[in-house]
Structure 1
Amino acid sequence: MIRGMSSAELRTIEHDWSLWARGGQIAPQGRWTVWLMMAGRGFGKTRAGAEWVRDQARQGARARIALVAATAGEARRVMIEGDSGLLAIAPADERPDWKPSIGQLHWPNGAQAFVYSAAEPDTLRGPQHSAAWADEIAKWPHAIEAWDNLMLGLRSGRWPRVVATTTPRPAAIIRRLIAEPGVMMTGGRTRDNRANLPPSFIAAMDELYGGTRLGRQELDGELIEEAEGALWSRATIEARRVRRMGAVRRVVVGVDPPAGTGGDACGIVAVALGDDGFAYVIEDASVEAQAPEGWARAVAACAARAGADRVIAEANNGGAMVESVLRAVAANLPVRLVHASRGKAARAEPVSALYDAGRAFHVGAFPELEDQLCGLIAGGGYAGPGRSPDRADALVWAMSELMLGPQAGHVGVRML
């Protein structure tokens, strides 16, 4: 049958999403305002979101569509220019004109889409939209404010609505949407898309993460609630999230170096002490799969960006090597080595108390770091992603130096 088709007919089939989509990738029937697609990595959420936006754009010249991601860069890289983004899925005669300098897409029929960053929720005040695609909402900074501003502007056209695509995390915005009446939900697992994923990838993921909390969340698309006995809760972190901080007294970069030279993750977290006496996480610069020179350069770069007056590095795994590697890339780096005499969870307990007391804050969102914090268990143990809470440990070292150690509150000389 296909052999007898013309090239035009074949192109029509290629771009007919209804022929290729799985059940969880098709918009629900009926009249709804919010469609929450919460599924595992590689399920095909981006393709489904892009195809839904393409369908909305085909409604006519008056279509005005919001494209919202955690950052404008992610919106461009994933939603628009990605392998399954809006430019890649469009037939030639429907391909929109992408104007990156102003963050807009213009379709041949007059429909338009506008890029927004959830990191700047005020940009969603004022504009009106007939539809919206909100991507990876579980990792949005200022998610509640950005979502509310988006919904308040969804007032154009006969039937305004939004699709939200995300990997599940027990973030406040996810819990809120699940509880709201009228929100339509679909989901799925990574394995559901096995026809489009390398078998070796499926096998490796099953072997590494099958049956684990991380695997259930990231692969099976389950919403995993708080770990029992966790030192940090999502609600506490959300309550300590701010958009900016005031004057800075000093900055410390905490480093949890990898155990060897095999390319494990290196935790690198910058924490600032404000003039108000509170601690503020300002950057998670952690890197993975880097040789010693690579993670050392990342530490030096983070210290320079943040204007740090001290780098605190754990020395339990090759202290002399850690210091020599750091000084090899930046001879004047103000490094101080520390030795851990207690386990990671025990060291973290007094730092978690700073959050409970309202003395520690996050300037923006740090999803990977926050996942690790919520996996540290009181009394010992770790139930978060990865083999070790390297990012969380780096935060603990920096916070301890600023808020708990003998130098707490000391005014140092910041690097310029």
Structure 2
Amino acid sequence: MGAAELALLEKELQRRLWEKRWARWTPYPWQVPPAHIPTLGWWLQLGGRGTGKTDGCARYMVAHVNGPPCDERLRGGHRMAIIAPTQGDAVEACVNGPSGLRAHDPRVTLRTTAGGTFARWPNGAEAKLFGAHTPDDVERLRAGGNRCLVWFEEVAAQRRLKDAITHSEMGLRIGANPHYIASTTPKPRTELIELTRRDDVIVTRGRTRDAIHLPQAQRDHLMRKYAGTRIAAQELDGQLLEDIEGALWSRALLDTTRVGAAPPLARVVVAMDPAATSGDESDEMGIVVAGLGTAYLPDRNGTSRRHGYLLDDLSGRMPPVAAARTAIRAYHQHQADAIVAEVNNGGEWIGTVVRQLDPTVNYRTVHASRGKLTRAEPVSAVFEQHAAHVVGSLPDLEEQLVTWVPGDDSPDRLDAAVWGLTALMLAPAGNVAAVA
């Protein structure tokens, strides 16, 4: 048997394997797509962990490719897009992952060319992969070409979600019914809340407790551990939580004070709040970049003052050396005046590691002599006075701001933001100590 015949046989075996898998698949009720999605409308799956949101969207896209062509002139009849938090997430989750396109149709191939990265089918249909994290990602979307279908993966985790929606919508013009499909574990993002209120967005919802393909022991463990908490409502039951009663910040306040870009800055700090524990859900290293404007601008009361700006959120779960490297990199990138670290909660190591890695860094410490509520309230008040602003979108930090209620353990991103703006705008000179 020659090479050409072997290639044909392999393709035929792949086709049969795909058809066999396809026939065996039984969807959850929330994975069943609506009979019709309006033009430029959405099918939005909101669900807890393990509810098959990615799986449902991947199957929909495969069915779309194997359905009627959206444009007979196109090879394969379809040009689509997949937009994930990063392009790497699109590759890992949407194409190669256990619930991705290739799990539903092994004939899908992944190709990277000068024009970008594409998932391609044997008939010539393709889906271009995008991220929505950096300004460069937005520019790629701006020039992303025309599409008949756009899949948004993990909508609530996309840092530049608003821009991603705007630019993708401009290119949704192939065929008689271009539209979106989307999947996400919900978070209180303004854009996501607005989507759920639109008449042309069809929402289906799934709960982890009902995801029978997950082991029962795992579901029971998660429900026991988080029952009655906000984590259970959002991450397991797929509820879209809005403003929390008693929280010091609201989404409306953050949106009202939000700016698209920072003005010229007089000072910049990289604020660090060390992780308190290991292995817990809150075990993150808070790393937030904050700046103080040079100009004196009126606040809500008409008083001229310098405004504060939250520029970047680099927080995450990482070992101490990686955290210090991240902070040092941000220090140089933003031409910061100092790295400011809280040392009450086991953070003494930060200064030692920073000095070992880069002795040129100006490092300062802050000491928590007051409770978290007492520290956070003045910073919240600066926002209420419209003298502090989020630059662009910092979704994970914003979620912590709008959901933290005094009395609960405050999360590390929020703490780092409070330390940064306090050091720039509110701290008496003696409360921020220089370290040689």
TM-score normalised according to structure 1 size: 0.83
Extract unaligned runs of 5+ from structure 1.
Answer: 1-5
AA aligned opposite 2:222? M
Residues of 1 paired with 2:208 and 2:180: CA distance? 23
- Aligned in 2, Cα 1:99/1:323: closer, same or farther, shift over 3 Å? closer
Q: Could you give the per-residue CA deviations for residues 323-357 of structure 1, whole angstroms, max 9, x where no partner exists?
A: 33443444443222211122222211221223233
Residues of 2 paired with 1:374 and 1:17: CA distance? 45
Instruction: Report the counterpart of residue 162 of structure 2 in structure 1.
Output: 144
Alignment pair present for 1:232 and 2:232? no
Alignment pair present for 1:192 and 2:210? yes
Cα contact 1:125–1:150 (8 A) shared by 2: yes
- Aligned in 2, Cα 1:215/1:404: closer, same or farther, shift over 3 Å? same
- Aligned in 2, Cα 1:305/1:20: closer, same or farther, shift over 3 Å? farther
Cα contact 1:137–1:173 (8 A) shared by 2: no
Instruction: Report the counterpart of residue 33 of structure 2 in structure 1.
Output: 27
1:39 to partner: Cα distance: 0.6
1:260 to partner: Cα distance: 6.0
AA aligned opposite 2:415? D
Secondary structure of 2:243 counterpart = coil
Residues of 2 paired with 1:12 and 1:148: CA distance? 35
Secondary structure of 2:336 counterpart = coil
**1:276-315 counterparts in 2 under 5 A?**
276=295, 277-288=306-317, 290=319, 292-315=320-343
- Aligned in 2, Cα 1:41/1:182: closer, same or farther, shift over 3 Å? same
- Aligned in 2, Cα 1:136/1:262: closer, same or farther, shift over 3 Å? closer
- Aligned in 2, Cα 1:300/1:144: closer, same or farther, shift over 3 Å? closer
From 222, 234, 252, the counterpart of 1:205? 222
Q: Could you give the per-residue CA deviations for residues 254-281 of structure 1, whole angstroms, max 9, x where no partner exists?
A: 1112346778422111113344443332
1:78 to partner: Cα distance: 2.5
From 95, 98, 109, the counterpart of 1:96? 109
From 277, 289, 292, the counterpart of 1:270? 289
Alignment pair present for 1:58 and 2:66? yes
Cα contact 2:110–2:117 (8 A) shared by 1: no
Instruction: Report the counterpart of residue 3 of structure 1 in structure 2.
Output: none
From 354, 363, 370, the counterpart of 1:335? 363
Q: Could you give the per-residue CA deviations for residues 88-138 of structure 1, whole angstroms, max 9, x where no partner exists?
A: 43233xx23422651333322121222334455465457322111112222
AA aligned opposite 1:167? T
Alignment pair present for 1:368 and 2:375? no
Secondary structure of 2:188 counterpart = coil
- Aligned in 2, Cα 1:285/1:199: closer, same or farther, shift over 3 Å? farther
Extract unaligned runs of 5+ from structure 2.
Answer: 1-11, 70-75, 296-305
Instruction: Report the counterpart of residue 89 of structure 2 in structure 1.
Output: 74
- Let me know the Cα RMSD of the aligned residues: 3.1
Residues of 1 paired with 2:140 and 2:359: CA distance? 43
1:233 to partner: Cα distance: 1.0
1:393 to partner: Cα distance: 0.4
Residues of 2 paired with 1:203 and 1:69: CA distance? 30
- Aligned in 2, Cα 1:18/1:37: closer, same or farther, shift over 3 Å? farther
Structure 1, 200-209 or 219-228: larger mean CA deviation:
200-209
Q: Could you give the per-residue CA deviations for residues 273-321 of structure 1, whole angstroms, max 9, x where no partner exists?
A: 344443332322223263x445444433443443332121112224655
From 374, 380, 383, the counterpart of 1:352? 380
Secondary structure of 2:211 counterpart = helix
Structure 1, 121-130 or 310-319: larger mean CA deviation:
121-130
Alignment pair present for 1:38 and 2:67? no
Instruction: Report the counterpart of residue 83 of structure 1 in structure 2.
Output: 98
Instruction: Report the counterpart of residue 381 of structure 1 in structure 2.
Output: 407
Residues of 2 paired with 1:266 and 1:149: CA distance? 33
Instruction: Report the counterpart of residue 181 of structure 1 in structure 2.
Output: 199
- Aligned in 2, Cα 1:159/1:258: closer, same or farther, shift over 3 Å? closer
Cα contact 2:288–2:315 (8 A) shared by 1: yes
State percent identity of aligned pairs: 36
From 146, 151, 163, the counterpart of 1:133? 151
Cα contact 2:18–2:105 (8 A) shared by 1: no
Q: Could you give the per-residue CA deviations for residues 31-89 of structure 1, whole angstroms, max 9, x where no partner exists?
A: 53321111112211111111111122223422111212233333233223333222343
Cα contact 2:287–2:413 (8 A) shared by 1: yes
Instruction: Report the counterpart of residue 21 of structure 2 in structure 1.
Output: 15
AA aligned opposite 2:83? V
Instruction: Report the counterpart of residue 182 of structure 2 in structure 1.
Output: 164
Secondary structure of 1:20 counterpart = coil
Residues of 1 paired with 2:23 and 2:270: CA distance? 48
- Aligned in 2, Cα 1:54/1:407: closer, same or farther, shift over 3 Å? farther
Residues of 2 paired with 1:74 and 1:258: CA distance? 26
Residues of 1 paired with 2:36 and 2:312: CA distance? 43
Residues of 2 paired with 1:245 and 1:72: CA distance? 26
Residues of 2 paired with 1:17 and 1:145: CA distance? 38
Residues of 2 paired with 1:260 and 1:132: CA distance? 40
- Aligned in 2, Cα 1:200/1:294: closer, same or farther, shift over 3 Å? farther
Residues of 1 paired with 2:253 and 2:88: CA distance? 28
Instruction: Report the counterpart of residue 396 of structure 1 in structure 2.
Output: 418
Residues of 2 paired with 1:363 and 1:74: CA distance? 24
Residues of 2 paired with 1:78 and 1:262: CA distance? 24
Secondary structure of 1:347 counterpart = helix
Q: Could you give the per-residue CA deviations for residues 177-236 of structure 1, whole angstroms, max 9, x where no partner exists?
A: 2221132111101233342x3555434422332220121101110111211021111222
Q: Could you give the per-residue CA deviations for residues 381-400 of structure 1, whole angstroms, max 9, x where no partner exists?
A: 23xxxx54111001100111
1:242 to partner: Cα distance: 4.0
Structure 1, 168-177 or 211-220: larger mean CA deviation:
168-177
- Aligned in 2, Cα 1:317/1:179: closer, same or farther, shift over 3 Å? closer
- Aligned in 2, Cα 1:313/1:211: closer, same or farther, shift over 3 Å? same
AA aligned opposite 1:99? T
Structure 1, 297-306 or 180-189: larger mean CA deviation:
297-306
